[in-house]
Structures are given as C-alpha cells and as structure tokens.
C-alpha cells in the first residue's frame, strides 16, 4: 500500500474509533511519526492530508521541518541539552520534557527566539525502567517548576504504554488521564484552560488511548511501514 493510502486508512479508522468511544474526531489529532522515512514519504503523507508530523531525532527534525515548513512538527524524542536550540527552532510542540533543567534551557532558548515553547510533560506511568519520563508522584513538582518559566507553556501530558497487552495499555492511558485531571484541578483557571492535551497511543495501542481520552495519537508504522499488520 502507498503511504497516502495507509495514511487515509488510519485517519478513517481514527475517526471511526472516535465515534465508537463518544469522542469528537476534531479533538483527536493524528501525528504521523516519520522517524523511519525520508522526505519523499513525508511529502506523500502531506499530500494525502497529514498536517502533523513527529520526529524523535533533532537532525531529522531539522531536515524534515526545513523541507516542509508548512507542516506542524512535533519533537517526541529524548532531549539532550546541546540539541535544544535545534528543537526549539523547529518544534511547535515538544512531547518529551521530563527534566526541570531542560525546561530552563528550553525557556532560555525560546526567549532568544522570541517564542513561547509549547511542551508536554512525559510521565512514566507504567514505571518500566526502560521508559523515560517523570514519575506520577514527581509530576506536580516538575509542573510547578515549568510554570515559573515565562517562555515555556505546558499544554498537557504524554506517555508510552508497555508493549503487548491492550488491557495494560488502557490502564496506563487511564492513569495518565487521571493524573492530568488531578493536576489540572490545582491550576489557576487561565493556566488550566491551556493544559488540555494528552499525547498517548501509537500504531499498536492508539484505540485504547482514544478510549481513555487521548487528544493526540503518535502513529508511525501504521502510516509509513508496509510491513505493519495489526
């Protein structure tokens, strides 16, 4: 199948799942994770209607965002201090912030560029050692630290579920939604109003994420890999 066909198929399935779970399809954004493909495939997805793309490596973010500045670019990978200038220059949303020291550097860089950087806090809900993210218990402290930074705006939370069990994935996603509601309840109204995003769900588990309240799903293989089968 072509990238265009696969993209349109996933988009249709997503809209269908939204209806099934009582979600408004306009409230769940499909982010095409293009980390394994080149510029041509990004162009194919763009032509098929994709508007949001995710990258996990700064080099690729820079290359592809320069190739397609009309798209919206999301940084979903591990943050390294020395790459923060590239990330802030190109990402409209950083999904993977979990350290206060990176928040401070993002703030400084965003100030230089005259922008406010939208970020999500990555939370390790499952507690797996292989996963990055702040623990749910430490999320309030990180959120408070970010709220002190005028050029960083925390838009919500992100997580990744363990592979393999839809039931476990669903629990993890519901855990993130619950943490989000708790944190939101403690924010000032104007801040709370912008703290509205839940980035969760990938090719294998996006349906569970939609059921649990995802506002963004990050889908790579189901859009870009011929070999992906559910």
Ligand X SMILES: *Cc1c(COP(=O)(O)O)cnc(C)c1O
Residue from 33, 91, 142, 154 in contact with ligand X (CB under 6 A): 33
DSSP readout, 104-162? HHHHHHHHHHT--EEEEEEB--S--TT--SB-GGGHHHHHHHHHT-TTEEEEEEE--PP
- Binding to ligand X (CB under 6 A): which residues in 101-130? none
Contact status: 220 vs ligand X (CB under 6 A): yes
Instruction: Out of 169, 203, 207, 212, point to the residue binding ligand X (CB under 6 A).
Output: 203
Q: The tokens 């996963």 sit on which residue?
A: 131
The answer to whether 87 contacts ligand X (rule: CB under 6 A) is no
Contact 37, 50 (CB under 8 A): no
Name the residue number minimizing CB distance to ligand X.
220
6 lines the binding site for ligand X (CB under 6 A)? no
Residue where the block lists tokens 């041509």: 40
The answer to whether residue 131 forms part of the interface with ligand X (CB under 6 A) is no
Complete DSSP assignment for 53-94: EEESSHHHHHHHHHH-TTSEEEE-S---GGGHHHHHHH-SEE
Q: For residue 201, what is the DSSP state? A: -
Using the rule CB under 6 A, give the single segment among 21-29, 137-145, 177-185, 196-204 that binds ligand X.
Answer: 196-204
Rounded CA separation 204/228 (Å): 9
Q: Which stretch binds ligand X (CB under 6 A): 6-14, 126-134, 170-178, 197-205?
A: 197-205
Task: For residue 212, state whether it binds ligand X (rule: CB under 6 A).
Answer: no
Antiparallel, parallel or unpaired: β 117-122 and 152-158: parallel
Of 64 and 218, which CB lies nearer to ligand X in the complex structure? 218
CB of residue 118 to ligand X, shortest distance in Å: 17
Is there binding between residue 88 and ligand X (CB under 6 A)?
Answer: no
Instruction: Single out the residue of 88, 161, 202, 209 in contact with ligand X (rule: CB under 6 A).
Output: 202
Asked whether the beta carbons of 201 and 173 are under 8 A apart, the reply is yes
Instruction: Confirm or reject binding of residue 10 to ligand X (CB under 6 A).
Output: no
SS3 content of the chain, % helix, strand, coil (to 5): 50, 15, 35
Which member of 35, 63, 131, 184 binds ligand X (CB under 6 A)?
35
Catalog residues that contact ligand X under the rule CB under 6 A.
Answer: 33, 35, 56, 76, 160, 202-204, 218-222
């Amino acid at each position: 199948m072509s990238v265009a066909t696969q993209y349109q198929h996933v988009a249709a399935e997503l809209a269908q799942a939204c209806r099934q779970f009582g979600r408004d399809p306009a409230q769940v954004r499909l982010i095409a994770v293009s980390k394994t493909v080149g510029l041509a495939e990004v162009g194919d997805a763009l032509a098929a209607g994709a508007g949001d793309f995710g990258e996990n490596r700064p080099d690729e973010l820079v290359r592809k965002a320069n190739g397609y500045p009309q798209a919206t670019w999301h940084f979903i990978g591990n943050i390294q201090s020395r790459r923060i200038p590239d990330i802030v220059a190109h990402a409209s949303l950083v999904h993977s912030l979990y350290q206060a020291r990176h928040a401070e550097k993002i703030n400084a860089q965003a100030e230089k560029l005259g922008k406010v950087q939208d970020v999500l806090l990555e939370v390790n809900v499952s507690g797996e050692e292989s996963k990055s993210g702040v623990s749910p218990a430490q999320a309030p402290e990180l959120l408070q630290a970010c709220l002190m930074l005028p050029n960083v705006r925390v838009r919500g939370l992100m997580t990744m579920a363990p592979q393999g069990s839809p039931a476990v994935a669903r629990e993890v996603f519901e855990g993130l939604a619950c943490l989000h509601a708790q944190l939101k309840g403690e924010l000032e109204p104007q801040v709370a109003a912008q703290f509205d995003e839940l980035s969760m769900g990938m090719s294998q588990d996006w349906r569970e994420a939609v059921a649990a309240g995802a506002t963004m799903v990050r889908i790579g293989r189901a859009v870009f890999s011929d070999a992906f089968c559910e």
